[in-house]
Structure 1
Amino acid sequence: MTSVVRRRVYGFGFACVLTALGQVAVYLFMLAVSVRQEYEDVQVASTSGIMAALTGVYAWLTGRLMFLLYERRHGEITCLEWVWWLCSIVVILFNLLLCVWFGLLSDTLPTTVSAVAASLYTLFFKFAKDDIKQMGIDEAAKSDKREYIE
């Protein structure tokens, strides 16, 4: 794997972690506002709480995945990959739904933020998925080479 590909994956991964942490802060703010007595919206509060937790888990999983990619520990990645994959899909879909929702409300700033987040998450998902696949191929080739030598 070339270093350009790895830098691209790390760049998108770092941007995704920062974006996810920013979104967690916004979801927590929305949660705090929606539980106030004068506003009190259970639907917004529950959605904000769930998405804050899920996006926080996504940020942690992405950070862990980047660490394992850096350390080239493919055996541990395979255990983590399906959870990260599922969490990525849910976070991407929710951001796309936010794009539609805020787009219908003609609210450009949240629409743009959700669109950028969904794009970043999707690009990182694609590049990291390819990187993990290539790591598995490289590891299988190394083990085959070791068996052939022995």
Structure 2
Amino acid sequence: MSERRDESPQLTHFVGGQPRMVDVSAKAPSARTARAEAWVRLPPESRAALLAGQTPKGDPLSVARLAGLAGSKRTADLIFLCHPIPVTGAEVDVTLKDAGIHITALVKTTAPTGVEMEALTAVTVAALNVYDMLKATSKAIEVSGVRLLSKTGGKSGDYQAAERPPQP
């Protein structure tokens, strides 16, 4: 009779049912990158205001870009069990497309843990700033499609998300 082993992954952020921050002090720093995306769906009146330059609070795309950069650096303040890591580089792209506003972030570090959360926080904070900047034009603006596109480095290796069409 074979012995059955539990194949489920070990939960590293909980010990004895209690949350903890994982100790990464024994891990060597290494170059890591993460790329994420988010979409902001605009109702026609919000899109028209943006195209006409008649947004009540100013340029939402520029503000979103800056907010995303700041968000990448403040991730550990927002995600409870996330390590504060040095962000050695960050790029946030905010582009108006037919499907809405597409936001991407590429975040880099040389640290003992990854930067996926920093990239995801960057695009989410940028998207929320678009909403804030345009909410006077419509409350029907939607943030969607937040996901990790790729990552490099670390013990788990590289990751590349499957392609999918732009969000509606």
Q: TM over 0.5: same fold?
A: no
Q: Which has the higher strand share?
A: 2
Q: Under a length normalisation based on structure 2, what TM-score does the superposition of the two structures give?
A: 0.28
Structure number with the bigger relative contact order (C-alpha 8 A, sep ≥ 6) is 2
Q: Under a length normalisation based on structure 1, what TM-score does the superposition of the two structures give?
A: 0.30
